[in-house]
Amino acid sequence: MKYKERPVVVKPIQIEAVQYVKTGPPERGVAGSGSNFMEIFEFTNKYAYLMNGMLLIPTLGGDYVYHVGDWVVKEADGHFHPHECESFKRTYELIEE
């Protein structure tokens, strides 16, 4: 027997900047010039956090350090999956803006 994976529609978010002012949750005034951290923070249900100027998001494989251009994909079960930019482009195609 052979199986084919069912098509899944995802709503990802791309990391625009990872240079942040200080470490901690955004409630304490964490911000980055030109960053989309608050959008990422809300997208990840407030799981994203900063440590030593890096953006981290918990995944099933552990905390993942994201870089500019990386994508965060929220799976149907609510878990987050990291994708480097080229991997994302190979895996997904835009169906709606």
CA nearest neighbour of 67 among 47, 45, 96, 88:
88
Q: What is the pLDDT along the chain (97 residues), one digit of tens a residue?
A: 887 777 888 889 888 865 554 445 554 444 454 567 778 888 888 788 777 767 888 888 888 888 888 898 888 888 888 899 999 999 888 887 7
pLDDT score recorded for residue 28: 47
Cα(53)–Cα(86) distance, rounded to whole angstroms? 24
pLDDT, position 17:
67
Q: Would you call 57 exposed, middle or buried from its count of C-beta atoms within 10 A (0-12, 13-18, 19+)?
A: buried
pLDDT of 33 reads 45
The mean pLDDT of the chain is: 77
The predicted pLDDT at position 25 comes to 52
Domain boundaries of the chain, sorted by first residue = 13-91
pLDDT at 31: 47
